[in-house]
Amino acid sequence: MSDKEKTAWDKIPSLDLEMDDAYAERIEAKDGRRHRRTDIAVLKTVLNGDVSSLPIRIATAADGIFDGLILDLSESGCRIAVSQKLKEGELTKLGFIINERTVVSKAIARWVTVEDYGCSAGLEFQGISADLKEFLGNISSASLFSKLGNVK
């Protein structure tokens, strides 16, 4: 862009739209997280087929292989509910299928809450490929737009 074009753009005043602030608040990551989490209720709006839950398979050195459910998902991790009791900092391997795409990753349990049924835990993906990270980010973005509803 030439200096003349840049000067021409700079002369145009800001729109100062009130929606800018409200919109930013609605789409920004919450709770100091790097990426916005998409809960299963919203996620179902962009999943193929009639999906009522998103199963996940977990493996740990201490407890072997067991199954659970994904409660929310982002490009950097997920919150799960499992019958086993994970420990904060525990190393895991996980796998799940979303829209015919298999996701397999190493993960670290960043937080764990003990529940009557076992626990809920926040798992942070480790060493996930760039294309898989982009895919999960696109799923979350599509879910977000679905949540925002129609633009009038």
Query: What residues contact 109, with CB distance under 8 A and at least 6 apart?
Result: 86, 87, 88, 89, 90, 92, 121, 122, 123
Q: What is the pLDDT of residues 96-134, one digit of tens each?
A: 988 888 999 999 999 999 988 889 999 999 999 999 988
Question: What domains appear along the chain, each with residue ranges and CATH number?
Answer: 37-148 (2.40.10.220)
- The predicted model gives 12-18 an average pLDDT of 58
Residue 81 pLDDT > 80: yes
Question: What is 21-42 written as a DSSP string?
Answer: HHHHHHHSPSTT-SS--EEHHH
- The reported pTM is 0.67
